[in-house]
Every structure is written in structure tokens, then in C-alpha cells.
Amino acid sequence: MKRFHVHVHVADLQKSIGFYSTMFGAAPSRLESDYAKWMLDDPAVNFAISTRGAAPGIDHLGLQTDDPAELATLKARAEAAGAALLDEGTTTCCYARSEKHWVTDPTGIAWEHFHTLQNIPVFKEASAEAGACCPADAPRGKPLAVPVKAASACC
């Protein structure tokens, strides 16, 4: 099974936690001082919020897989579609160690495909490779090699 993933940067974490907890009818499954995540079964979504972005708004979309074979299938599909692909392999980000790659759709929206291996106690381990997810100087928490859609006032 694959789970849809959405990560949103928020200006006020506590206010947003209250809002989304009410909307989802559930408390976050992971809660940190700068981050919260709901792993919902109905609908099947991994919904995360954090205060780590340059501006509030949708940071990226993604698909989380239950096993490495599903992740390999997603990677093959992305490559077949001709998408720019950044393969991070095993890396850390967002309080987890994962096997992941990033693709960018034709409009510049970043998609993360990943298989979570384990939870970790920090947002990103210092030992992770340079240029990996969420470097402190990267805009909006994206891998440096994956362009992101610029925020705009128009929907």
C-alpha cells in the first residue's frame, strides 16, 4: 500500500496542530517543538507540518511506500516519465531515516517518494550527506538539486 504525503510549512505550529487535530479527529502521531505528523488511515495520508520553511504553504507532495519494492516501482515510473530525479538513497530528514528519491513535475512541484526505515530523535542527522533533504540554507526545505514551484498570490 502507498500512502499520500503532504508537508505544509506553518507560521504558528500550536494553532495549526489544534486546527488539524480537529479536522482529522485525531492528535498527531509524532509531535516535536517544530513539527507534527498525522499518519491517518482514513483517508490514507501522511500529513506533516513544520515551522522550518521560508514561507507558510505547501512544501511538497509525496508517496510513502510500505516496502522497498513499491519504492523501486515509483522510481522506475518517474524515470520512464522523464522527470528530473534526485536519488538520495538512505538519508535522514523529518525525524526519520528513509530510503528516498525526489522528482519534479512539469510545473516545478517537488514530489518525494520514500520508504521509512525508522524514526530518529532529530529532524535531520548531521551525518547526512551534503545536499540531502532539508539543509539549513535550502529554501523551503527542498533538496538543492530539485527546483520548487515559486510561491504566488494566485491559486
- Predicted local confidence at residue 82, as pLDDT: 78
Closest residue by Cα to residue 63 from 53, 50, 51, 73: 73
Give residue 33's pLDDT.
94
The answer to whether the beta carbons of residues 2 and 66 sit under 8 Å apart is: yes
The pLDDT, as a whole number, for residue 154 is 31
What is the distance between the alpha carbons of residues 151 and 42, in angstroms, rounded to a whole number?
29
Q: DSSP H helical segments within 63-143, as ranges?
A: 68-80
The pLDDT averaged over each successive group of 10 residues in the chain (155 residues) is 89 89 89 95 90 85 91 88 83 84 82 85 60 39 42 32
> Given this model, what pLDDT does residue 140 score?
36
Q: How far apart are CA 151 and CA 142, in angstroms?
A: 14
Residues 6+ apart with CB under 8 A from 129: 88, 91
**Residue 17 confidence (pLDDT):** 92
Report the amino acid identity of residue 71: L
Distance of CA 2 to the CA centre of its chain: 14
pLDDT value of residue 126: 65
Domain spanning 2-141: CATH 1.10.3720.10: no
Report the predicted TM-score, pTM, of the whole model to 2 decimal places.
Answer: 0.68
